[in-house]
């Protein structure tokens, strides 16, 4: 009965300030300068009509940074944060401004995570208002910020950080691992009875160079049927990104070695130098053949 009442309340509260978004991470790769954003919540696009579910909080500006405005998400606060990011404010300056200029004069119910890149300097910051729902907290690293509310406990944030730091590979792989670190039943405590971590999730990454200067990984799971954990769905879509001939590029890193790298920066194979032929058939099948 309590769950039914909660759903009704979320539907009736205006869109501009209703969302309780739960756990998320923003990060910048110090080498490639890619900007990334990932997160999940027990709310979804069905529960909150007219939204992309958890991805509602994600605001990435390639080459500049990203900010998450979560816990009682407010559209005006989000827009102001976006403008400050464009204007060159650091992560801490953006959050300080939001705290002092809250659209509803109630920053104590907000939670923010921000990452900025200014003149090759990466700055991360986060804020958790005292009136956010427990368990609530955040973690700030050199090039990432992790934040969450309505959590099972601190272990969710710690696991996200550990997976992010201890996973090798590209920024997208590290963010995916961080999201998997929160795939615990009831990570968002509202989802405990459903035996999933959340109902909606996302993973988004933007390249910094020109061209293109856009978000090239944009996986948004608005809602999952039959109580499938949305983090699993994000993982499946992520795994599928390197399928297809268009995602491969060939690099010669050493005189006698041919390396094939997929779109995520992962080495697909490592062979003796030779001619790599691709046969693409009408039915979409791709056949690869090495001619030495």
pLDDT over threshold 90, residue 26: yes
In this prediction, residue 9 carries a pLDDT of 29
pLDDT over threshold 70, residue 58: yes
Same domain, 168 and 275: no
Rounded average pLDDT over 163-188: 95
CA distance 157 to 138: 7
Same domain, 158 and 96: yes
What is the number of domains present in the chain? Answer: 2
Judge whether 63 and 55 are in contact, CB under 8 Å.
Answer: no
CA distance 218 to 145: 19
In this prediction, residue 11 carries a pLDDT of 29
Domain that holds residue 87: 2-240
CA-based nearest residue to 267, from 279, 278, 258: 258
Q: Name the band, by pLDDT with cuts 50, 70 and 90, for residue 23.
A: very high
Same domain, 200 and 233: yes
Percent of the chain with pLDDT over 90: 59
Q: Name the band, by pLDDT with cuts 50, 70 and 90, for residue 208.
A: confident
Q: Which residues pair with 261 in a beta bridge?
A: 249, 267
**CA-CA distances (angstroms) from residue 193 to 1, 30, 51, 186, 229?**
12, 40, 24, 8, 13
Same domain, 29 and 172: yes
Same domain, 215 and 73: yes
What's the pLDDT tens digit per position in 76-106? 999 999 999 999 999 999 999 999 999 999 9
pTM score of the predicted model: 0.77
In this prediction, residue 213 carries a pLDDT of 64
Q: Which residues pair with 287 in a beta bridge?
A: 279
Same domain, 233 and 258: no
Radius of gyration of the chain (CA): 20
Of 198, 218, 240, at which residue does a domain stop? 240
């Amino acid at each position: 009965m309590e769950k039914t009442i909660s759903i009704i309340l979320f539907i009736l509260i205006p869109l501009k300030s209703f969302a309780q978004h739960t756990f998320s991470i923003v990060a910048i790769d110090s080498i490639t300068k890619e900007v990334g954003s990932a997160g999940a919540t027990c709310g979804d696009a069905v529960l909150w009509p007219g939204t992309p579910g958890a991805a509602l909080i994600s605001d990435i500006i390639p080459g500049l940074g990203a900010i998450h405005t979560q816990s009682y998400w407010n559209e005006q606060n989000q827009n102001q944060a976006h403008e400050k990011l464009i204007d060159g404010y650091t992560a801490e300056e953006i959050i300080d401004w939001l705290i002092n200029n809250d659209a509803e004069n109630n920053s104590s119910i907000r939670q923010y995570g921000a990452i900025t890149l200014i003149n090759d300097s990466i700055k991360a910051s986060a804020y958790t208002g005292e009136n956010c729902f427990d368990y609530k907290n955040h973690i700030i690293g050199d090039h990432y910020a992790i934040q969450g509310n309505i959590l099972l406990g601190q272990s969710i944030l710690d696991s996200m950080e550990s997976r992010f730091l201890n996973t090798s590979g590209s920024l997208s792989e590290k963010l995916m691992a961080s999201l998997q670190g929160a795939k615990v039943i009831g990570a968002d405590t509202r989802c405990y009875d459903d035996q999933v971590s959340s109902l909606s999730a996302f993973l988004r990454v933007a390249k910094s160079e020109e061209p293109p200067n856009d978000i090239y990984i944009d996986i948004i799971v608005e809602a999952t049927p039959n109580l499938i954990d949305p983090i699993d769905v994000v993982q499946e879509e992520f795994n599928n990104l390197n399928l297809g001939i268009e995602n491969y590029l060939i690099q010669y890193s050493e005189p006698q070695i041919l390396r094939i790298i997929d779109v995520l920066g992962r080495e697909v194979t490592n062979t003796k130098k030779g001619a790599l032929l691709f046969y693409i058939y009408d039915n979409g099948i791709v056949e690869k053949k090495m001619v030495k």
